Structure 1
Amino acid sequence: MAWLDSLTWFSIISFLVALIFWYKSRSNSSKLRPPGPPGWPLVGNIFDVGRMPHENFHKLRSKYGPVVWLKLGTLNTVVIQSAAAAAELFKKHDAAFSDRRVPDSLTACGYHTGSLSQSRYGEYWRVLRRLCSSELMIQKRINASAPLRQKCIEGMIQCIKEDVSGSLVGGGSGEVQLDKYLFLMSFSLVGSFMLSRDIMDLRSEAGNEFFDVMNKFMEWNGKPNLSDTFGFLKWVDPQGIRRNTEKYLGQLLNLSSGFVKERIQERQLGRKQESRDFLDALLEYQGDAKRTFDKLSEKNVTIMILEMFFGGTETTSSTIEWGMSELLRNPDTMKKLQDEVDRIVGRGRKLEESDLNNMPYLQATVKEILRLHPVFPMLLPRNSMQDTEFMGYVVPKNTQIFVNAWAIHRDPASWSDPLSFKPERFLGSDIDYKGQNFELLPFGSGRRTCIGLALGHRMVSLTLASLVQGFDWKVISPQTLDMGEKVGLTMRKMVPLKVIPTPRL
């Protein structure tokens, strides 16, 4: 049996050699990866995430630098936390990091398969991006839709006036909760912009129902999900997050589907819109012989319409609510902004969108709101498509990439007195929010820049200026100015803003 003994020894030696090579390669690979805190067995760095991941990741920078490596369960993760590191990513490695890491909750109802923001990087994403760029967010269409914005904002202001008046007549304080007005106004505006029609009265029961369902959808998407950090748990969905997301997402998709089916029926009957809108563009899309699909399915059109509602309502309304909160905490800034509006517009007429270009302090204020309160504090997570050398480190394929915009916007290396609300820092400054100044990235940069950047900025600027022109504002309780954050799919105020508006026009 000597041959068996020799074979056994050969196997043992081969195993030991392979083990040594594996250990060395693992050690070398670890040395090439970015620095980060040591993790626990199996769970890795999950306990470093906490309830406020953007804040907790920011704290790691002082010890580990602007590029931090984390192991979240089975998921490799890199966090980018400086303007220089963000510039390196977006300028040199944007293509390698253009894929998307999709949360398990957003695979409910197949949402990720039709979404622009959540779809994987590839042919389908490029088609949608090109359609949005050429049909929805062109400057000519945005300019032409100015009367729609004016109408929706004036309708919101009238609702606020009526509700305050009704409250005072009934012996109340005249206090209103601002977020619902902002949300429904934004929803109506985006719907009018995409569908060329008034879709919702701010007082309608459907509007309130949509607001409530959206809140529940956001709440479930904000819960830390074990299925995202341990992929093998996805089939179990142990916390029921995907199941509950599917419930509320299904209701929202039904609303969007109604708009799509109605338009399809109108087209079949030969009825056409006065002007071609975004829904028409989606339904009319025809690919070419080189593509794997020649048109968008009705389901994907429905998902795209809903995504435009998501992007235009939640982000806009949250940003304005944060802005009003900061103005109420900083009455001198509020006074300066009202003075600028009165100087340019006066009190004899309503502010118009064309006035915004003459209001540098308003534009500086909006930039400062976006700096301190980015709606997506870590943008949307990207995914590396290949092993990539990044700033002297190796980022392996299928690594989740977070760009911590919240931390970058508070970096003392880029901003003086970074925690203070000071719009003056932008007066005379060339720093903009369009993705070329990497110290200010509320909308991201590169291929995955937010497609609604230009429209969103106009909506925020016009609404904020109109609210400041139309009312004087105060709060009953300091608690409503609590600036605590509630992080979900977006970053909202923990305590909704309740205010007492007094008409000034």
Structure 2
Amino acid sequence: MNQFYMTTLSVSVLLISIIWYIKSLRKTPPLPPGPRGLPILGYLPFLGKHLLHQFTDLGHKYGPIYKLYLGNKLWVVISSPSLVKEVVRDQDAVFANRDSPVAALVGTYGGNDIAWSPYNSQWRAMRKIFVQEMMNNRSLKESYSLRKDEVRKTITHVHTKVGKPVDIGELSFRTELNVIRNMLWGGIIEGEEGKRIGAEFRVLISKIVDLFGKPNISDFYPVLAGLDIQGVKKNRWKIICNPWTDTVSGGTDTTATTVEWAMAELMKNPDSMAKAHKELFDVVGSDNMIEESHMPDLKYLEAVIKETLRLHPAVPLLIPRSPAKSSTIGGYTIPKNSTVLINVWSIQRDPSIWDNPDEFKPERFLDDNGNLDFKGNHFHYLPFGSGRRVCAGMPLAERMLIYLVASLVHSFEWKLPTEGETLDMSERFGIVLKKSTPLFAVPTIRLHDSNLYM
């Protein structure tokens, strides 16, 4: 009897141990580590002006995935290629939703556009039409004459400004705006009227982009969204835009900003500028203007654009994602509806990945990283994002970036307006990473035949 009792007890203990072990395996992983905040406010009071540097420093302290509460909203910041892969590739469908700020939802009819829409059938249809009708190779080849005309007009305009300061960002924006308006609507407004409308449109787009990236109380305390404390919904008429306006803003502001950064880096690094000039002379010559057919042979200029986007990614934290259900990344739980940021700026300056990461060195994309492209398949280089939500306008942006920068560099020499002036390379953080001070540069003619500028 005692032996039977002992056998039964042993079996029971064994079964209980097995059940406990199985339950322990099913235990929900913990949340990521992160800094402690204050009650109700979370980490909000401790955020500084230089968020990219602050987020990177927090990553160094807490690891490549960490959390912080901003208000009562949980934010998760990721800054390692392997963890990025889990988000944008392994669990892409789970993390394909956007965490849209209130201003973006109001300004786009509830996220009724490609950038801010939830991941659903409507978004898939919009993106499919946009990519297949505008961004495919056939459409881009057929629209080359539009891009060529606008770039040539830009060169002609700069020719009239020789010896005078030119706002590179404004110049690039107007060129991009005319290209996209022409592709969308088949015409542009010429002359002074066109310049006026372009300038006004740039102000409007800048305000929209800044507003979409500006924190709103409701973004940190969703329970207060109905109160509209900051009047975003009440003033929706000031920020409302349709999907096509969204396309224009996405294709102009980010591309113009990157052109401005590229020109600033070349002016700051005379050796790189000299190499670009030599390549242009070898490929294009001094008696021709740039054509898109030259682009495949301009390897160094392509590397310049890639290096510019490495140091100055247009959207440095990408557009926030939000998991459709609770998930596990890097062994940590990421709750449903939390905000997930991918710190591309930090990854692309990581010294464990990049040699001398803060140095502008286009040559790195001609050597070991020569196979890196913009498609998001290399998780340590994601200037256009990756996965289902990779930038839909990437094919056009890639063409225009190289074409416009190459044309400006080939046609003119550039210098700062004041002798001995130091080029300001400081950043102004927002949803789009811009220069703190606009780049004004003075052009002088490089090509011998003045007819090329007409």
Query: What TM-score do you get using the length of structure 2 for normalisation?
Result: 0.88
The answer to whether 1:102 aligns with 2:110 is no
> CA-atom RMSD, angstroms?
2.0
Superposed displacement of residue 51, structure 1 = 2.2
Question: Aligned equivalents of 2:281 and 2:358: distance in 1?
Answer: 29
Superposed displacement of residue 485, structure 1 = 1.5
* Residues 108 and 243, structure 1, Cα contact 8 Å, conserved in 2: no
Instruction: Tell me the equivalent position of 1:82.
Output: 80
Helix, strand or coil: the match of 1:204?
helix
Question: Aligned equivalents of 2:282 and 2:276: distance in 1?
Answer: 10
* Residues 316 and 343, structure 2, Cα contact 8 Å, conserved in 1: yes
After superposition, the C-alpha distances for 1:94-137 in whole angstroms (9 at most, x for unaligned) are: 11101111111112244343211101111111111211222121
After superposition, the C-alpha distances for 1:233-278 in whole angstroms (9 at most, x for unaligned) are: 323443445555x34424xx4xxxxxxxxxxxxxxxxxxxxxxxxx
Instruction: Tell me the equivalent position of 1:285.
Output: none
The answer to whether 1:372 aligns with 2:362 is no
Question: Aligned equivalents of 1:148 and 1:91: distance in 2?
Answer: 36
Instruction: Tell me the equivalent position of 2:413.
Output: 472
Kindly provide the amino acid, as one letter, of the partner of residue 186 in structure 1.
E
The answer to whether 1:235 aligns with 2:176 is no
The answer to whether 1:333 aligns with 2:331 is no
Superposed displacement of residue 199, structure 1 = 4.7
After superposition, the C-alpha distances for 1:453-472 in whole angstroms (9 at most, x for unaligned) are: 11101100000000000100
Instruction: Tell me the equivalent position of 1:195.
Output: 185
Distance verdict in 2 for CA 1:219–1:132, change over 3 Å: closer
Question: Aligned equivalents of 2:298 and 2:90: distance in 1?
Answer: 36
Superposed displacement of residue 83, structure 1 = 1.3
Instruction: Tell me the equivalent position of 2:385.
Output: 444
* Residues 52 and 429, structure 2, Cα contact 8 Å, conserved in 1: no
Distance verdict in 2 for CA 1:201–1:457, change over 3 Å: farther
Instruction: Tell me the equivalent position of 2:47.
Output: 49
- Of 489, 493, 497 in structure 1, the residue corresponding to residue 439 of structure 2 is 497
Query: What TM-score do you get using the length of structure 1 for normalisation?
Result: 0.79
Question: Aligned equivalents of 2:394 and 2:350: distance in 1?
Answer: 23
Question: Aligned equivalents of 1:66 and 1:227: distance in 2?
Answer: 28
- Of 384, 409, 412 in structure 1, the residue corresponding to residue 323 of structure 2 is 384
* Residues 178 and 497, structure 1, Cα contact 8 Å, conserved in 2: yes
* Residues 94 and 447, structure 1, Cα contact 8 Å, conserved in 2: yes
Superposed displacement of residue 76, structure 1 = 1.1
- Percent identity over the alignment? 36
* Residues 206 and 253, structure 2, Cα contact 8 Å, conserved in 1: no
* Residues 106 and 232, structure 2, Cα contact 8 Å, conserved in 1: no
Superposed displacement of residue 483, structure 1 = 1.4
* Residues 188 and 200, structure 1, Cα contact 8 Å, conserved in 2: no
Instruction: Tell me the equivalent position of 2:166.
Output: 176
Distance verdict in 2 for CA 1:184–1:112, change over 3 Å: farther
Instruction: Tell me the equivalent position of 2:209.
Output: 218
Helix, strand or coil: the match of 1:32?
coil
* Residues 75 and 341, structure 2, Cα contact 8 Å, conserved in 1: yes
Instruction: Tell me the equivalent position of 1:152.
Output: 150
Question: Aligned equivalents of 2:348 and 2:313: distance in 1?
Answer: 9
For these two proteins, the number of residue pairs brought into alignment is 418
* Residues 305 and 402, structure 2, Cα contact 8 Å, conserved in 1: yes
Superposed displacement of residue 412, structure 1 = 1.2
Superposed displacement of residue 371, structure 1 = 0.4
Instruction: Tell me the equivalent position of 2:401.
Output: 460
After superposition, the C-alpha distances for 1:52-91 in whole angstroms (9 at most, x for unaligned) are: 3222111111111101111111111111101121122222
- Of 254, 258, 261 in structure 2, the residue corresponding to residue 319 of structure 1 is 258
- Of 346, 350, 367 in structure 2, the residue corresponding to residue 411 of structure 1 is 350
Question: Aligned equivalents of 2:234 and 2:411: distance in 1?
Answer: 43
Q: Name the one with the larger helix percent.
A: 1
Question: Aligned equivalents of 2:237 and 2:53: distance in 1?
Answer: 31
Instruction: Tell me the equivalent position of 2:287.
Output: 348
Question: Aligned equivalents of 1:306 and 1:186: distance in 2?
Answer: 13
After superposition, the C-alpha distances for 1:36-65 in whole angstroms (9 at most, x for unaligned) are: 111211111223432232221111111111
Question: Aligned equivalents of 2:34 and 2:121: distance in 1?
Answer: 35
Structure 1 residue runs of 5 or longer lacking an equivalent are 1-24, 169-173, 254-302
After superposition, the C-alpha distances for 1:401-449 in whole angstroms (9 at most, x for unaligned) are: 1011000101112101001000000103212221001111010000000
Question: Aligned equivalents of 1:85 and 1:48: distance in 2?
Answer: 26
